[in-house]
Amino acid sequence: MKSQDIRNTFLDFFEKKEHLIVPSAPMVVKNDPTLMFVNSGMAPFKEYFLGNSEPKKNRISDTQKCLRVSGKHNDLEEVGYDTYHHTLFEMLGNWSFGDYFKKEAIAWAWELLTEVYGIDKDLLYVTVFEGSDDADNLKMDTEAYDIWKQYIAEDRILKGNKKDNFWEMGDQGPCGPCSEIHVDIRSAEEKAKVDGKTLVNMDHPQVVEIWNLVFMQYNRKANGSLEVLPNKHIDTGMGFERLCMVLQGVQSNYDTDVFTPIIREIETITNSSYGKDEKVDVAIRVISDHVRAVAFSIADGQLPSNTGAGYVIRRILRRAIRYGFTFLNQKEPFIYKLTETLSNQMGDAFPELKSQERLIENVIKEEENSFLRTLDQGLLLLDKVIDDSKDKTIDGAKAFELYDTYGFPLDLTQLIAREKGYSVNEEGFKTEMQKQKDRSRAASASETSDWVILKEDDTEEFIGYDTLTADVKLTRYRKVTSKKDGEHYQLVFNMTPFYPEGGGQVGDKGYIEVPNGDVVYITDTKKENNVIIHITKNLPSDLDDTFKAMVSDEHRRLSASNHTATHLLHQALRTILGTHVEQKGSLVKPASLRFDFSHFSKVDADQLQEIEDFVNARIRENLELEEYRNIPMQQALDKGAIALFGEKYGDSVRAIKFGQSMELCGGTHVQNTGDIWYFKIKSESAIAAGIRRIEAITNVAVGDYFEDVEKQFESIKSVLKNSNEPVKAVQALQDENANLKKQIEALLKDKAKNLKGELKNEISEVNGVQFLAKKVDLDGAGIKDLCFDLGSNMDNLFLLFGSETNGKAILSCYISKELVAAKDLNAGNIVRELGKHIQGGGGGQPFFATAGGKNPAGIDAALDSAKSYIE
Ligand code: ATP
Ligand code: MG
């Protein structure tokens, strides 16, 4: 069965079991500080499990893009070395939110695997949770055991410990026992030798877990205790690539049709072959895996960068580049060439790969180029480290610097060192690594207490599109202590006018007023797993009061102005530069706006002017806001609304329209484009290959800007003695300056000519050599000219000149070529020795050399000893 059919069969099966099929959520997580990337199928549904919002249906199924390269799940270092762990993989899943539980989950998993996919029962093992005698004191999951018994022989049901059979989302939150399904795809011969049972969960490449059924029945609280959940849930995850391996009868995920087209392409491009040499195979697996992770991230809007999620992506790509560099001998960019194959192969299931193929290709190519340069520098540094090493070992701290700054992992440094007969101090490396981990843990450490629930009013209503003030009641709060923000509280209200950070727009600020007139300031508003959280230093005195919530009017008004201007800018770019322009990021705050977009060349000054004029024309048209709240996604798209890749949209969306501009958007906007006043572009730049950034201002900021410009202009005029024509005045100054320069050059030439004449007379014969050692008043270049000038007129010349400029000493030595040979003299050696007098050093060629030093007082001594060289 082809992988495409395997995926569809899964989804069809659960659709028939009344599940709603939903598309994969974007891989990069935006609304959850505890998670950078989706790392399991359940992550996009966290808000349902936490009870923060209601799913559209209580049975859902999908295939979810997952990335396991950071945090709790990090498989990165395994990838390439084994045959069944990837960075990016698809997790097929089915979910019950308070609906069916263990009985159905197990029955359907079994039916799908054995009857629909036709996997032989004798290949399968299952595990159940054995219980724990630690603080949780949990009993064995006999419920699951008894259900499994109906389908599979009891000697194939294995009991597992907490590590393998108790699943937790994080330190806090829903959790529960799980049952894994494993397959044994070894040959009959192997099976006869070793019983499959003993290999389950033992990291055997042919006895692997394919599916995990999690039975969520507890909630883990901040103090570590467990409480039983009122509603029980099912969360299952099956590795798509591993399932393909089983169904296609191969022994490695990389031999399935998910990977073979990319591997063939790598073989062609790099002129290598897969399956002959383990080192080459590892490299090919690494590259075929990593290119997928990187391409999917870029398609989701996450570009490689120096921080956060972008940095993780950069490191994945660099890992691939390194393996290509070291084991496939690729010194030029080549990974970008795989983009097309990938998009042809996966583009049907993930259309974002197709539509952004060119961008993905460009970004990868540029990253490859710049990292290959870094690699070169790193190799030079490594050479130097090796040269400097006295005991044939490389210091752990140096190896760590190579790792941290140049992306050289320890194994690469070791490999290169070994080739030269050196070893690396591994302990030292590990110590440095640990130090860095401790530093970053300390920097991000935070402590979050459980929510204190005041009212069971879970659905918090956002009313901030219509009003900036409201009477609100606190429904829950918690205390958070973090290194970054110190100790603070997070408040949740029954309703709120505060806009939470999102869609590029910063969160609202403001205050809540308690009945006695005191105020508590809200310093920021955020959304976390679909709950709006208000950040404050202090709790209100009486938590049960009704508070008056007030959003800062100015903060909101200016943010709205910049947000609407951002939409108009987007429209202008697509109109003037073309519809290939796609939003790649935006930041909307009261003071300014920033907009990143795909475009392949610099936007020139004329185009920028045109863009600015376009936006200002829309502002002057006084276009009214047309807002469509809660309309079906498809209806919005049919009306021409623009949606962004990498955004997680609900089933019903909000669309914002001003004239011809229409976007899906949750942000806040002005009522009329006239409220923006004026739009001014401040800068245009590149932030990555194929991605440009425009920074701009609107509203009062434009007034401030022009005021500044005017002030500067006035001060320029006053420097120019209040000339009424400052441009002419500056031009006159420039002309005058150019004239003066010419005159100075002519004077200097004259001076050198005179000097030459004088010096010629001072040259005396010593031991048959025309000799002169003297201090002169010329710079380095002037002395050089002088030496060669004298040298072209006289033979057997030995000259040593000293000079002083800006407190620094220079010694220059010239020796006629015939003297160099006849008397075995070397100007380079001479200046190096004499350089000691001026506390400096230098060198050059045997007939001309220069030394610089910081002690002009030593010049005379140096000149005095010159004669000794020819005596
Ligand atoms: P393993 O022990 O093999 O690493 P896991 O216990 O980490 O698996 P789960 O977190 O339960 O796996 O994920 C559910 C399923 O997703 C697994 O049964 C497996 O089929 C698949 N899976 C997990 N990690 C990876 C990965 N890195 N690459 C490919 N598939 C994976
Ligand atoms: Mg794992």
Which position has the token pair 């997790």? Answer: 91
Ligand 1 pocket mutation pick from 89, 183, 203, 207 by most atoms within 8 angstroms of CB: 89
669 annotated ligand binder: yes
What lies within 8 Å, CB to CB, of 501 at 6+ separation is 507, 524, 525, 526, 527
91 lines ligand 1 (CB under 6 A): yes
Which of 179, 209, 242, 246 has most ligand 1 atoms within 8 Å of its beta carbon, as the pocket-test mutant? 209
C-alpha of residue 72 to centroid of ligand 2, in Å? 9
Q: Which ligand is nearest to the CA of 75?
A: 1
Whether residue 273 is predicted with pLDDT greater than 90 in this model: the reply is yes
**CB neighbourhood size of 660 (10 A):** 11
Of the bound ligands, which one is closest to the alpha carbon of residue 182?
1
- Which residue lies with its CA nearest to atom 1 of ligand 1? 209
Distance CA 778, CA 791 (A): 17
Looking at the predicted structure, is the pLDDT value of residue 643 above 90? no
Residue 71: band (very low, low, confident or very high) from pLDDT cuts 50, 70, 90:
confident
| Residue minimizing CA distance to atom 22 of ligand 1 | 239
User: Which atom of ligand 1 has the smallest separation from the CA of 201?
Assistant: 2
Q: Are 694 and 684 contacting, i.e. CB atoms less than 8 angstroms apart? A: yes
**Which range among 109-113, 486-490, 688-692 has the greatest average pLDDT?**
109-113
Q: Which of 377-391, 511-525, 593-607 bottoms out in mean pLDDT, i.e. has the lowest?
A: 377-391
Instruction: Please determine, for residue 444, whether its predicted confidence score (pLDDT) is greater than 80.
Output: no
* pLDDT confidence tier of residue 131, bands split at 50, 70 and 90: very high
Q: If pLDDT is split at 50, 70 and 90, which confidence band does 388 have?
A: confident
Given the CA of residue 242, which atom of ligand 1 is nearest to it? 20
Please check if 178 is assigned to a binding site: no
To the nearest 10 degrees (0 to 180), the angle between helices 410-419 and 308-327 is 30
pLDDT interval class at 458 (50, 70, 90): low
Give the range among 80-94, 636-650, 731-745 with minimum mean pLDDT: 636-650
Neighbours of 655 (CB within 10 A): 23
What pLDDT is stored for residue 511 in this prediction?
96
Q: Whose CA is nearest to atom 11 of ligand 1?
A: 212
Q: How far apart are CA 593 and CA 701, in angstroms?
A: 11
Which of 539, 544, 824, 588 minimizes the C-alpha distance to 697? 588
> 80 exposed, middle or buried (CB, 10 Å; 0-12, 13-18, 19+)?
buried
Q: Are 88 and 116 in contact (CB under 8 A)?
A: no
Q: What is the pLDDT of residue 753?
A: 83
- State the distance from the centre of ligand 1 to the C-alpha of 211, rounded, in angstroms: 8
Pairing, β 519-522 against β 626-632: unpaired
pLDDT at 457 over 70: no
CB 362 within 8 A of CB 601: no
- 514: nearest Cα among 487, 483, 536, 532: 536
Closest ligand, as measured to the CA of 80: 1
Cβ of 41 below 6 Å from ligand 1: no
pLDDT tens-digit series, residues 766-805: 988 999 999 998 888 889 988 999 999 889 999 999 999 8
Atom of ligand 1 nearest to the CA of 75: 27
Q: Ligand 1 centroid vs 844 CA: distance in angstroms?
A: 63
Ligand nearest to the CA of 242: 1
- Which ligand is the nearest neighbour of the Cα of 245? 1
Judged against a pLDDT cut of 80, whether residue 694 lies above it is answered with yes
pLDDT at 801: 95
Q: Which pLDDT belongs to residue 19?
A: 97
Query: Which residue has the CA at smallest separation from atom 4 of ligand 1?
Result: 85
**Closest ligand relative to 40 C-alpha:** 1
Tell me what percent of the residues of the chain surpass a pLDDT of 90. 70
The pLDDT of 226-230, averaged and rounded, is: 90
Which residue's CA is the nearest one to ligand 1's atom 3?
Answer: 209
pLDDT class of 409 with cuts at 50, 70, 90? confident
Residue 647 has pLDDT above 90, yes or no: no
**Considering only CA atoms, which residue is closest to atom 25 of ligand 1?**
85
Indicate which atom in ligand 1 lies nearest the CA of residue 86. Answer: 28
Coil, helix or strand for 263?
helix
Annotated binding-site residue? 567: yes
Q: Check if 86 has its Cβ closer than 6 Å to any atom of ligand 1.
A: yes
Spell out the residues 6+ positions from residue 475 whose beta carbon is closer than 8 angstroms to its own: 453, 454, 455, 456, 457, 458, 460, 492, 493, 494
Instruction: Determine the average pLDDT of the residues in 436-461.
Output: 79
Rounded CA-CA distance 589/555 in Å is 8
The span from the CA of 316 to the CA of 37, in Å, is 14
831-850: burial string, b at 16+ Cβ within 10 Å, e else? bbebbebbebebebebbbbb
Dist CA 669 CA 625 (whole Å)? 8
Question: Helix or strand or coil: residue 426?
Answer: helix
Rg of the chain taking only CA atoms, in angstroms: 36
What integer is the mean pLDDT of 656-680?
96
Which stretch of DSSP H or E encloses residue 288? helix 278-299
Mean pLDDT of 548-575: 97
What is the sign of the dihedral through the CA atoms of 273, 277, 280 and 283?
positive
Q: How far is the CA of 282 from the centre of ligand 2 (A)?
A: 19
CB of residue 85 inside a 6 A radius of ligand 1: yes
- The backbone torsions φ and ψ at residue 48, rounded to the nearest 5 degrees and listed phi first, read -75, -45
In this predicted structure, the answer to whether residue 460 has a pLDDT above a threshold of 90 is no
The rounded Å distance from CA 208 to ligand 1 centre is 9
Of 84-98, 438-452, 612-626, least confident by mean pLDDT is 438-452
Residue ID of nearest Cα to ligand 1 atom 14: 237
**pLDDT score, position 830:** 93
**Among 91, 207, 258, which residue has the most ligand 1 atoms within 8 Å of its CB, making it the best to mutate?**
91
The reported pLDDT for the residue numbered 445 is 74
Ligand 1 pocket check for 68: Cβ under 6 Å: yes
Residue nearest to atom 9 of ligand 1 (CA): 212
Do residues 242 and 91 lie in contact, with contact meaning Cβ atoms separated by under 8 Å? no
User: Where does the pLDDT of residue 710 fall: very low under 50, low under 70, confident under 90, or very high at 90 and above?
Assistant: very high
Specify the pLDDT at position 38: 94
Tell me how far apart the alpha carbons of residues 14 and 31 are, in angstroms, rounded to a whole number. Answer: 28
What is the pTM assigned to this prediction?
Answer: 0.77
Q: What is the mean pLDDT of residues 342-369?
A: 92
90 lines ligand 1 (CB under 6 A): no
Ligand nearest to the CA of 39: 1
Query: Are residues 521 and 486 in contact, defined by beta-carbon separation less than 8 angstroms?
Result: no
pLDDT at 509: 97
What's the CA-to-centroid distance between 75 and ligand 1, angstroms?
9
Question: Which residues 6+ apart lie within 8 Å of 792 measured at CB?
Answer: none
Q: Which of 39-43, 411-415, 501-505 has the lowest mean pLDDT?
A: 411-415
> Which H or E element spans position 400?
helix 396-406
pLDDT top residue among 748 and 518: 518
C-alpha 456 to ligand 1 mean position (Å): 36
CA dihedral 350, 355, 361, 363 (to 10 degrees): -100
**Pocket probe mutation, ligand 1, options 83, 212, 244, 253, max atoms within 8 Å of Cβ:** 212
What's the pLDDT at 806?
84
The preferred substitution site among 242, 285, 290 for testing ligand 1, maximizing ligand atoms within 8 Å of CB, is 242
Which listed ligand is nearest to 163 at the C-alpha?
1
**How many A from CA of 284 to the centre of ligand 1?**
21
Asked whether 292 lines ligand 1 (CB < 6 A), one says no
Nearest alpha-carbon partner for 175 in 116, 132, 125, 114: 132
With a pLDDT cut of 70, the percent of the chain lying above it is: 100
**Distance from the CA of 348 to the center of ligand 1, in angstroms?**
24
Q: 86-90, 386-390, 498-502, 609-613: which has the minimum mean pLDDT?
A: 386-390
Yes or no: say if 156 and 145 are a contact pair by the CB < 8 Å rule: no
Nearest residue CA, atom 10 of ligand 1?
40
H or E element that contains 718: helix 700-719
**495-496 and 461-462: which strand pairing?**
parallel
pLDDT above 90 (res 390): no
Q: Is the CB of 211 under 6 A from ligand 1?
A: yes
Confidence band for 571, pLDDT divided at 50, 70 and 90: very high
Among 329, 317, 405, 406, which Cα is nearest to 363's? 317
Three-class SS of 312-360: HHHHHHHHHHHHHHHHCCCCCCCHHHHHHHHHHHHCCCCHHHHHCHHHH
Looking from the CA of residue 210, the nearest atom of ligand 1 is 20
- The pLDDT, as a whole number, for residue 440 is 77
Residue 437: band (very low, low, confident or very high) from pLDDT cuts 50, 70, 90: confident
Give nearest CA residue, ligand 1 atom 23.
239
List strands edge to edge, sheet with 593-598: 583-588, 593-598, 691-698, 679-688
User: pLDDT grade, residue 673 (50/70/90)?
Assistant: very high
Residue 233 labelled as part of a binding site: no
Q: Find out whether the beta carbon of 92 lies less than 6 Å from any atom of ligand 1.
A: no
DSSP 473-506: EEEEEEEEEETTTEEEEEEEESEE-PPPSBTTBP
Q: Using the mean position of ligand 1's atoms as its centre, give its distance from the Cα of residue 209 in Å.
A: 7
